[in-house]
Chains A and B, each alone.
Chain A
Amino acid sequence: MIALARAILRRGFELIERPFERLFGPALNPLAQLGALGFFFFWIVAVSGIYLFIFFNTGIERAYESVEHLTRDYWFHAGVMRSFHRYASDLLVVMIVVHLLREFAYDHYRGVRWFSWLTGLPIIWLLYISGITGYWLVWDKLAHFVAITTAELLDWLPIFGEPIARNFISTGTLTSRFFTLMVFMHVAVPLFLLFIMWVHILRISRPKVNPPRMLAAMSLVALAGVSLWNPALSQGHADLTTAPVEVGLDWFYLPVYPLTNIWGRGAVWGFLGAFSLMIGLMPWLPPLRRAKPAEVDLAHCNGCARCAEDCPYEAIRMVARTDGMPFPTEAQVNPSLCVSCGICVGACPSSTPFRRSAELRTGIDLPDRSLRMLRERVIAAAAMAQSAPRLLVLACDHGGGAAHDAGTVGLPCVAMAPPSLIDFILSRNLADGVVVAGCAESACYHRLGIAWANQRFNRRRDPYLRTRVPRERIATIWTSALETKRFEDEVAAFRRFVSALSATRSTPSATPTMAASADTGRSRHPGEEVGS
């Protein structure tokens, strides 16, 4: 059931993401920046909130007037700031909801990722509490509606001695002290929210907390434009003698409120509790089957820290040397954080298939999918390739190349393949060209695999691809698991390219070029890179 929902949702995301990726490019694709955009909108809300607080009067009698004053009389700065505050808050909800759905769709919530998933749950609750208390402060008709409905919902719980909703039955029952409490909550809860947001990314290596500048600039300008076009306004002073029966509802923050009328308060609490419980249990429904974690072989580890540097899960740390070798540190794997992606194997300078030792060993390796096994599978796959030009595909398990059959070697992540493996394949004449096939560029299953592979093959990250390796004989194809046709088309194009390349050896004046370009998001070759 969950797997079916995930598959359907993933299909939906694939359909939406590819056009976005083509328009924005992988670096600016907003769907790949949801977390960073969430942080960005949080900061906009925080700054605009501080600005608005300068004009805001916290007394029950003056709150509405002060908001009206800043909205009408100072519309050109405070009014715009109010719209920034409101719409950035709504966008924060959108970012968080889409982020949650996307992480679910791409199965980024089980295994070691349970921590980030679970800490996302209090973020949702705190965000909604922040938003709801914010609507309260304006003290217009909507605030009245929010106040009554929230109080009635809380009163359903057997916690409070006197119904909170009684505060809103007549003017005399509501005091400024209650309002001051709301102001305090509207400041304190977002601060706590920020703290939980920090906890949320604790276990992520190189978390993206700032969107690319271009995307941030466009978002700011768009927000300003929308704020001028449709400024956030109040809905008339709250009148406790009149029921707020018709309100312009913020459907991002208050979608549950109409349900209290339809389902009843108990059912709404039941729904919220069931939703929270389901989100909380999802990482273990069912638990992700994990391969054995990476193991360090101290005899081959010189403590260079490249594995720790490249690990996307903070699963490796450098500790003091324990074996008496003349190096200050050694790598240590935390098995509870390791997902066996193999990126550390690709980062290790001793991961070279050229080694002649009886059993190929490296400084850090996967017990279930070792470098030795990888070399053997590469040699076996190369032996099967017959038609010229011979192509060898190194495909990650999550991308469009995983389903490719002939001459394909599967990897948990393309960044597990060290650049020396490509050198090995081409210099030993095991193939005429190598296809490195990963996930879609903005949806790398192991977050940093595509970035590291690109940088290594383009000689910008250690371990570098040696200069003697002809870069034009390596194609990088980034496609999602659903884009198998596009993958096959690009392999066919690369086959033609390699074929022409071999032909031009005899006629050097004619240099072939790949038709694929960065604009279309297709394979990059030669020497091109994501975002370049």
Chain B
Amino acid sequence: MSKALRTCGQFIVIVALFASVAALADWPVYRQTPRGTAIVILTFVHGADRRAECRRLTPEEIAKLPLNMRRVQDCPRGRRPVYVELDIGNEVAYRASLAPTGIAGDGPSRVYQRFALPAGQYDVAVRMRDTTRHEGFDYEREEKITLKPDQMFVIDFRAEPAGFLFR
């Protein structure tokens, strides 16, 4: 084989290899959800009430404390879990009791959940309980929404002043 011919062969192999790599750099196309699907995201970060109410210490209890650590009230550090429900189209989409974050359980509860749904109209209801109550909810919102294909619909939460936000 002549040197020129051999070099041509080598170059062709290299070009073919590089071209294959370039082709695979953005092909085949990846589709995350079926066509005509929208995505609903339920996400928020919210701290519930503390596990128990602050308690006034008795004079005896205060006296037992070291001088530099004396205080009037004892407030437990840990927070309650946040209970949340999400119904989409009159069906239960999500129910969870979200534990507080942090090693001592004193951080806010957090959630990030995605739901892929066919585009269309839905009744959406979201409810949250973050206090000591055992029944009923502290925050709730119900609305009819229209999801377009590929739309990203976010259900967020702000305690002040709005409550649940749909966007």
Which residues of A are in contact with B by a Cβ distance under 8 Å?
20, 23-24, 28, 30, 83, 86-87, 90-91, 94, 142, 145, 152, 155, 161-163, 165-166, 169-170, 214, 218-219, 221-223, 225-227, 229-230, 232, 235, 240-252, 257-258, 261, 519
Task: Give every chain A residue within 8 A of B156 (Cβ-Cβ).
Answer: 169
Which residues of B are in contact with A by a Cβ distance under 8 Å?
1, 6-7, 9-11, 13-15, 18-19, 21-33, 37-39, 41, 43, 45, 101-102, 107-108, 110, 112, 114, 150-152, 154, 156, 167
Rounded to whole angstroms, the CA-CA distance of A235 and B25 in the bound complex is 12
Chain A minimum-CB-distance residue to B38: A243
Q: Are A246 and B31 in contact (CB under 8 A)?
A: yes
Q: Are A232 and B14 in contact (CB under 8 A)?
A: no
Majority-rule SS of A interface residues:
helix
Some 8 contacts from A to B, beta carbons below 8 A apart, are A24-B13, A223-B18, A232-B26, A240-B152, A242-B152, A246-B29, A247-B29, A519-B1
Task: Give every chain A residue within 8 A of B39 (Cβ-Cβ).
Answer: 243, 245
Rounded to whole angstroms, the CA-CA distance of A219 and B15 in the bound complex is 8
Given contacts A90-B21, A165-B43, A252-B21, contact A243 B15 (CB under 8 A): no
Rounded to whole angstroms, the CA-CA distance of A326 and B151 in the bound complex is 84
Rounded to whole angstroms, the CA-CA distance of A258 and B43 in the bound complex is 22
Chain A minimum-CB-distance residue to B31: A246
Q: Are A250 and B26 in contact (CB under 8 A)?
A: yes
Given contacts A218-B14, A245-B33, contact A232 B112 (CB under 8 A): no
Task: Give every chain A residue within 8 A of B1 (Cβ-Cβ).
Answer: 519
Rounded to whole angstroms, the CA-CA distance of A319 and B10 in the bound complex is 46
Q: Are B29 and A221 in contact (CB under 8 A)?
A: no
Q: How far is the CB of B39 from chain A (nearest CB, A)?
A: 4
Given contacts A145-B32, A241-B152, A246-B30, contact A162 B18 (CB under 8 A): no
Q: Are A252 and B25 in contact (CB under 8 A)?
A: yes
Q: Are A242 and B32 in contact (CB under 8 A)?
A: no
Q: Are A94 and B32 in contact (CB under 8 A)?
A: no
Rounded to whole angstroms, the CA-CA distance of A258 and B29 in the bound complex is 11
Task: Give every chain B residue within 8 A of A94 (Cβ-Cβ).
Answer: 21
Chain B minimum-CB-distance residue to A169: B154
Given contacts A243-B150, A246-B32, contact A218 B21 (CB under 8 A): no
Q: Are A226 and B15 in contact (CB under 8 A)?
A: yes
Majority-rule SS of B interface residues:
mixed
Task: Give every chain A residue within 8 A of B30 (Cβ-Cβ).
Answer: 246-249, 257-258
Q: Are A86 and B25 in contact (CB under 8 A)?
A: yes
Q: How far is the CB of B150 from chain A (nearest CB, A)?
A: 5
Instruction: Give the one of A165, A166, A223, A240 with max B CB within 10 A.
Output: A166
Given contacts A23-B10, A23-B13, A226-B19, contact A152 B25 (CB under 8 A): no
Rounded to whole angstroms, the CA-CA distance of A225 and B29 in the bound complex is 23
Rounded to whole angstroms, the CA-CA distance of A241 and B112 in the bound complex is 16
Task: Give every chain A residue within 8 A of B10 (Cβ-Cβ).
Answer: 23-24, 28, 218
Given contacts A169-B154, A230-B22, contact A245 B112 (CB under 8 A): no
Task: Give every chain A residue within 8 A of B150 (Cβ-Cβ).
Answer: 242-243, 245
Given contacts A170-B154, A242-B151, contact A261 B101 (CB under 8 A): no
Rounded to whole angstroms, the CA-CA distance of A374 and B107 in the bound complex is 73
Rounded to whole angstroms, the CA-CA distance of A519 and B3 in the bound complex is 10
Q: How far is the CB of B133 from chain A (nearest CB, A)?
A: 26
Apart from A170-B154, A247-B32, A248-B26, what are 12 other A-B pairs with CB-CB below 8 Å?
A23-B9, A24-B13, A87-B21, A90-B21, A161-B108, A161-B110, A166-B112, A241-B151, A241-B152, A245-B150, A249-B30, A261-B32
Task: Give every chain B residue within 8 A of A221 (Cβ-Cβ).
Answer: 11
Rounded to whole angstroms, the CA-CA distance of A347 and B70 in the bound complex is 81
Q: How far is the CB of A64 from chain B (nearest CB, A)?
A: 17
Q: Are A245 and B21 in contact (CB under 8 A)?
A: no
Q: Are A222 and B14 in contact (CB under 8 A)?
A: yes
Rounded to whole angstroms, the CA-CA distance of A519 and B9 in the bound complex is 13
Q: How far is the CB of B12 from chain A (nearest CB, A)?
A: 9
Rounded to whole angstroms, the CA-CA distance of A271 and B83 in the bound complex is 32
Rounded to whole angstroms, the CA-CA distance of A43 and B124 in the bound complex is 53
Q: Are A250 and B25 in contact (CB under 8 A)?
A: yes
